[in-house]
Chains A and B, each alone.
Chain A
Amino acid sequence: MSQEMVTVTIDGIAVSVPKGTTIIEAAKQAGVLVPHYCYHPSLPSPAVCRMCLVEVEKAPKLMPACVTTVADGQVVHVQSERALEQRKGVLEFLLINHPLDCPICDQSGECELQDYTFQEGRSATRYTDFAKRFNPVEDFGPDILYVPNRCILCTRCVRFMDDVAQEATLNVSERGDRAFIGIAEEQRLDHPWSGNVVDLCPVGSLLSKDFLHKARVWDLDKTGSICTGCSQGCNITIEMRDEVVVRLKPRPNMDVNRHFMCDHGRMNYRWMNRGDRVEAPLVRNGSGPSGAADWDRALDAAAALIRAASGRAVILASGRASVESLGLVRKLVDSLPVTAAIKVPLGDEAPLAGVPNLALRRERVPNLDGGRLLGYTDDWDAAVEAARSADIVLVLDAELSEAEAASLDAATGKVIALSTLVADWQGRAAVVLPVTTMAEETGVYINRDLRAQRFQQAKAPPAMARPAWWAAGEILAGQGPDADAPSSAAEAFDMVTRGHPSLDGLTHDALGWAGRVVAGGAGVGA
C-alpha cells in the first residue's frame, strides 16, 4: 500500500512524510525537536500544554504541532521569534508554581521542564512577592508518589490510565491554578502497568518509591537490554550506578512494547545485584570435596565427563539463558539422546488493554521460544525425572528446589553445573563453571512472537565468571587455543543459527536494535 506523501519545510529542512502526519512527528523526521510536554506518541494528544505551538506560514495564529497535520508545501518555523517568545511565556507560567527543588528532585537531569528552561526559558522569574501553590505529597500506589507542587498538569498520567491501561484511576481535580492530579476515591494506583506514569511524567511529580533518592540520573550508566520478566520481551534499559543496577526503564519498540513495561518487569532486577555468586570454577577432587580450579582444568574435566557419557543426557536450563548459551550447551551433547527442558515459572497474565498484543505473560521467562527452537521443552518435571537415570546432567543456571536437587543424587559425579549463584546442590556436581547473568553478557532472546532481540552487556562479570556460551564453545573446540571457539556472542550466535531451519542466516548485526521475527513467527510488526 503506497501512502500519499506530502512535503513540508520545517526550519528550512524539507521532509517528505505520509499525509496525516502531525507537524511534531514530521519535525522529528527533519531532525527538529519541537519542545512539548503533554504530547506523547503513545497517548492521545490533548494539546493543552501549548508548548509545541509553532509558526505555520499563512496561518494567523501559532498552531499546536502535536495535533496539526501537515499540508503539502507547508512552511513551519519552530525557532522563529514568535514561537520562541510564546514558549518562553509558557515556561514562565509553568514555573510560577513550580518549586525550585531540583537539588532534591529525582527527575533532575532528565526533567523536560529543566531542559527547556535552560534551553530557552527566562533567566529570572517575574513572579515575585507571591507564595507558590502548595499541596502535600500523596501516596498514590504501591510504588508511586505524587508531588503536586511539581506538577505541570500535562495529564499524560491521566490519559495513560484512561486510554492505555483503560482503568480510569486518575483525574484532574479542581480548576484554574488550584488544579492537581486526583485519584478516584477508594482507588489505588496499583494497576500492573501503572509504573509507566512515572516514566511518562515529564517532571518530578510522579516518582517511583523504589528509585526514591537512590541516585542522580546523570550518574547512571544505561544499557539497552530485554526484560527477563516474561515471554513478552519488552525492550528495556538497564540503569546502573557504580555497577549496581538501580532501575529498569522501558525502551521504545513500536512492535513489542511501544513505550511501556509492566511493574513486574520493572521490579525484576534485584537478582542482577546479588553477591552470592560462583566466582571460580570448582572441580571435584576424586571422591573428595570440590576445589577451586582454573578454567583450563575445569573445562578439561567437563569435556572428559561428556566424552565418557554414552547414555541419556539431560539439560536443566534457566529461561534466562540466551540463545547462544542454550544452543552451544545443547551442542555439547548432540551425539547422545537428550532430554532438555527450561524451568518456566507461571503467573497471571496482565494485559495492557490499550496496546494490542502487549501483556505481562503467564510464562515468566524471556527465552522459552528460543529454547523451543533449539530442542528444549517446558516439560520440566519430565526432565527432572529423566535426570535420575541420566548418564550426564548439565544444569544451565537453573535454580533447583531441594526435591529437584535430590533427583541428581543418582547422577552424582556426572553433573556439570554452569551456575551464576552458589547453591547447596552444587556439592553433587563434578564440575561447577562460573557463568555470567544476562546483565553481564551480550546475547539474544526470542520472545513468544518469535522475535529475536539482542541485549547488551550492562555489568562487568564477577571474578572468573564467563558467559555459558563461551564455556560450551571452548569445550566444543577441544583443548588448547582453537580458532573455532567463538570469541564473541555474535560468533556464538552464528554457530547456533548456521544451518538451523528457522534461524539460519540471522546475525547480531541483522537483528539491529528492534529485533527481527524469525521464520515461522508472526509478531505485531511482522
Chain B
Amino acid sequence: MGFPHPSHPKETVVLSQYFGDAEARSYDGWVKRGGYLALRKALGMDRGALIEEVKASGLRGRGGAGFPTGLKWSFMPKGDGKPHFLVCNADESEPGTFKDREIMRWTPHALIEGCAIGAYAIEAERCYIYIRGEFTEPWAVMTRAVEEAYANGVLGENACGSGKRVDITLHRGAGAYICGEETAMLNSLEGRRGNPRIKPPFPAQAGAFGLPTTVNNVETLAAVPHILNRGAAWYKGLCLGNPKSTGTKLISVCGHVARPGNYEITLGTPMKDLIYDMCGGIPNGRKLKAVIPGGSSVPILTAEEAEHCVTDYEGVVEAGSMLGSGGMIVMDDTTDMVYQIWRLARFYAHESCAQCTQCREGTGWTTRILARILAGEGKPTDYDLLLDLSKNMTGTTICVLSDSCAVPIVSGIQKFKNEFEAYISHQRKPAFALGPA
C-alpha cells in the first residue's frame, strides 16, 4: 500500500496491510489483527518441517540478492552445539529504497514475529536487528515493540510459553552504507570497523562472533508469518507466470511519479502498471526517460526497456538490470543523466570502506572524471577511460560496492552517451565549475 496513498487495486496487499494503521504498532493491536499466531505455530513445529514450508513457498531474499530463504536457513549446521545467531538486516541503506523503514514504522511486531520464527528455525536463541543509524523513528517504534514483546512473554527464555528461548537485541548502526553488506554488518555488530569480510567462510559457517549466523532482510522475515498462517501453497500461488519469483514485493518508488511511495505488488507485475497506474504516471506532462529498478546499484533502464519489463527477479534481469532491493528511481525527460550518474558515483566514493584498492581509488577517480565532464572539461577519451576503469572495478573486490559504482557509469554511457557528448562538445552549458586543480 503506497502509504500515505490508499491502496491501489493492482496492488496485492499482504505486508503493507496495516501501513498507516497506528493501532497495529502496539502489541494488543497486533494480536487483534492476528499477530503472533504464526510464531506460536512455528514454535510447536519441527524445525525441518518449518524450513521445508518456507522452501516450498518460494520466498527469496528481499534485500537484493534474491537468494531462496529456506535454502539459506538449511545451510546452518544442525545440532553442532554452538550458539547460532539470526541477524536481521534493517540497515536499508541502498539509495532509493525505503520499504523496511515502513515495515518497522507501522508493523514492528510483524518483524519481531518473523525474527523469532527465523531464529527458531536455525537453532538460534538470539536475533540481532541491525537498524540503520538514521532511522530514528523506526528505532523508537522497534524499541517499544521489543519491550512489549518481552513484557507479554512473546520473547525471552520461555517464548510464548513454548519453553524455548528467543531473544531479540536491537543494534543501531552509525550511518555507513557499507554496513548494509552482510559481513560488514557483522563486523559493525561486533564493534569493529564496518569492513566487508572475505567469503568464504560464509556467515553460516562463521558469522557474528565467529559463530554460525544467518542474515535476512526485514521484508523477508516479515513475510514469514504470513507464509505460516496462510500456507506455502498460497504464497507460491502469488505469482504471475514465473514460478521462480513468487509472493509479494514492496517496491519503493521515488523520483518523477505522481504518487511516490511503497507499492506491494505480486512479483511478475508489469513495470508499466506500477509506474503509470499505481504511481499515477509521470507528472507535469513529462515523459519517462529512465528507471533504476532495484536501488542505485543496478543498471539503468531506458524508458522503453522499463515499459516492457516484468517486475520479478528474472524479468528485470531479462530487461538488462536487476530487481535488487526494489528501490525504483524514476526519471523523466528533464533529468540530466550525467549529473545523476555523477551523484551516484560520488555517493559510492564517499561510502567506500577503503579496503580494496580498485574501490578506494576507482570510485574517487571516476567521480572526478564525471565532475570534469559536467564542468565542460571532459575529453573525448573519457568514455574509454571510464569504461576501462569500470572494468577494473568490476568483479575484483571483496564486496560489490565498487561494481555498484561502475554499473550506472557503464549503463549510462551505453544508453545515454548523447548527454555525455553534449557536455564534452560544449553543446550544453557546464553544470558547475570545478575548483582550482
A130 lies within 8 A of chain B by Cβ? yes
Closest to A51 in B: B357
Residues of A with C-beta under 8 A to B357: 48-51, 90, 93-94, 152-153
Task: Report the minimal beta-carbon distance from A153 to chain B, rounded to whole angstroms.
Answer: 6
Q: A93 near B396 (CB under 8 angstroms)?
A: no
Of A48, A96, A126, A130, the most chain B CB neighbours within 10 A belong to A48
A309 lies within 8 A of chain B by Cβ? no
Among B355, B360, B397, the residue within 8 A (CB) of A46 is: B355
Among B352, B363, B437, the residue within 8 A (CB) of A131 is: B437
Residues of B with C-beta under 8 A to A93: 357-358, 360-362, 365, 392
Q: A97 near B361 (CB under 8 angstroms)?
A: yes
Of B351, B377, B396, the most chain A CB neighbours within 10 A belong to B396
B385 lies within 8 A of chain A by Cβ? yes
- Per-residue CB proximity of A5-39 to B under 8 Å, as 1/0? 00000000000000000000000000000000000
Residues of B with C-beta under 8 A to A50: 356-358, 396-397
B320-377 contacts to A, CB under 8 A, are 349-358, 360-365, 368, 372, 377
Residues of B with C-beta under 8 A to A53: 396
A62 and B365 alpha carbons, distance in the complex (Å): 23
Residues of A with C-beta under 8 A to B198: 46-47, 64, 67
B195-212 contacts to A, CB under 8 A, are 198
Q: A130 near B354 (CB under 8 angstroms)?
A: no
Residues of A with C-beta under 8 A to B364: 176-177
A171 and B363 alpha carbons, distance in the complex (Å): 22
Q: A177 near B372 (CB under 8 angstroms)?
A: no
Q: A172 near B354 (CB under 8 angstroms)?
A: yes
Q: B355 near A48 (CB under 8 angstroms)?
A: yes
Residues of B with C-beta under 8 A to A86: 392, 396
Task: Report the minimal beta-carbon distance from B434 to chain A, rounded to whole angstroms.
Answer: 9
A59 and B308 alpha carbons, distance in the complex (Å): 34
Task: Report the minimal beta-carbon distance from B348 to chain A, rounded to whole angstroms.
Answer: 8
Closest to B194 in A: A175
- Per-residue CB proximity of B133-174 to A under 8 Å, as 1/0? 000000000000000000000000000000000000000000
B398 lies within 8 A of chain A by Cβ? yes
A274 lies within 8 A of chain B by Cβ? no
A175 and B351 alpha carbons, distance in the complex (Å): 7
Among B350, B355, B358, B398, the residue within 8 A (CB) of A89 is: B358
Task: Report the minimal beta-carbon distance from A80 to chain B, rounded to whole angstroms.
Answer: 15
Q: Is the interface of B mostly helix, strand, loop or mixed?
A: helix
Q: A130 near B363 (CB under 8 angstroms)?
A: no
A129 lies within 8 A of chain B by Cβ? yes
B415 lies within 8 A of chain A by Cβ? no
Residues of B with C-beta under 8 A to A51: 357
Task: Report the minimal beta-carbon distance from A112 to chain B, rounded to whole angstroms.
Answer: 13
Residues of B with C-beta under 8 A to A134: none
Closest to A95 in B: B361
Closest to B352 in A: A176
A175 and B396 alpha carbons, distance in the complex (Å): 19
Residues of B with C-beta under 8 A to A176: 349-352, 354, 360, 363-364
Q: B437 near A61 (CB under 8 angstroms)?
A: no
B395 lies within 8 A of chain A by Cβ? yes
Residues of A with C-beta under 8 A to B396: 50, 53, 61-62, 86, 89
CB within 8 Å: A-B pair count: 89
Among B353, B358, B437, the residue within 8 A (CB) of A130 is: B437
Residues of B with C-beta under 8 A to A62: 395-396
- On chain A, the number of residues with a Cβ less than 8 Å from chain B's Cβ atoms is 34
A44-68 contacts to B, CB under 8 A, are 46-51, 53, 61-62, 64, 67
Residues of A with C-beta under 8 A to B363: 176-177
B5 lies within 8 A of chain A by Cβ? no
Closest to B385 in A: A126
A101 lies within 8 A of chain B by Cβ? no
A162-219 contacts to B, CB under 8 A, are 171-172, 174-179
Q: B360 near A153 (CB under 8 angstroms)?
A: yes
Residues of B with C-beta under 8 A to A94: 357, 361
A130 and B368 alpha carbons, distance in the complex (Å): 8
Q: A179 near B354 (CB under 8 angstroms)?
A: yes
A47 and B352 alpha carbons, distance in the complex (Å): 16
Closest to A176 in B: B352
Task: Report the minimal beta-carbon distance from A71 to chain B, rounded to whole angstroms.
Answer: 13
B82 lies within 8 A of chain A by Cβ? no
A127 lies within 8 A of chain B by Cβ? yes
B41 lies within 8 A of chain A by Cβ? no
A282 and B354 alpha carbons, distance in the complex (Å): 66
Of A46, A130, A174, A175, the most chain B CB neighbours within 10 A belong to A175
Task: Report the minimal beta-carbon distance from A104 to chain B, rounded to whole angstroms.
Answer: 23
B193 lies within 8 A of chain A by Cβ? yes
Closest to A47 in B: B198
A425 and B422 alpha carbons, distance in the complex (Å): 89
Residues of A with C-beta under 8 A to B352: 175-177
A131 and B371 alpha carbons, distance in the complex (Å): 14
Residues of A with C-beta under 8 A to B362: 93
Closest to B350 in A: A176
Check A48/B398 contact, CB under 8 A, given A89-B392, A127-B365.
yes
Residues of A with C-beta under 8 A to B391: 89
Residues of A with C-beta under 8 A to B355: 46, 48, 153
Of A50, A53, A174, the most chain B CB neighbours within 10 A belong to A50
Task: Report the minimal beta-carbon distance from A77 to chain B, rounded to whole angstroms.
Answer: 16
Task: Report the minimal beta-carbon distance from B178 to chain A, rounded to whole angstroms.
Answer: 8
Q: A175 near B350 (CB under 8 angstroms)?
A: yes
A406 and B193 alpha carbons, distance in the complex (Å): 63
A177 and B361 alpha carbons, distance in the complex (Å): 5
Residues of B with C-beta under 8 A to A64: 198
Closest to A37 in B: B357
A96 and B354 alpha carbons, distance in the complex (Å): 15
A93-111 contacts to B, CB under 8 A, are 93-94, 96-97
Residues of A with C-beta under 8 A to B377: 129
B387-405 contacts to A, CB under 8 A, are 389, 391-392, 395-398
Task: Report the minimal beta-carbon distance from B374 to chain A, rounded to whole angstroms.
Answer: 14
Task: Report the minimal beta-carbon distance from B400 to chain A, rounded to whole angstroms.
Answer: 12
- Per-residue CB proximity of A74-99 to B under 8 Å, as 1/0? 00000000000010011011101100
Q: A47 near B351 (CB under 8 angstroms)?
A: no
Q: B354 near A175 (CB under 8 angstroms)?
A: yes
Residues of B within 8 A of A (CB): 176, 193, 198, 349-358, 360-365, 368, 372, 377, 385, 389, 391-392, 395-398, 437
- A sample of 19 cross-chain residue pairs with beta-carbon separation below 8 angstroms, ordered by A number, consists of A47-B198, A49-B357, A51-B357, A61-B396, A67-B198, A93-B361, A93-B365, A126-B385, A131-B437, A153-B354, A153-B357, A175-B350, A175-B351, A175-B354, A176-B350, A176-B363, A177-B352, A177-B360, A177-B363
With A49-B356, A130-B365 given, name 6 new contacts (CB 8 A): A48-B355, A61-B396, A127-B365, A129-B372, A177-B349, A177-B354
- 9 closest Cβ pairs, A-B complex: A89-B392, A179-B354, A177-B364, A93-B361, A176-B352, A48-B355, A93-B357, A47-B198, A90-B357
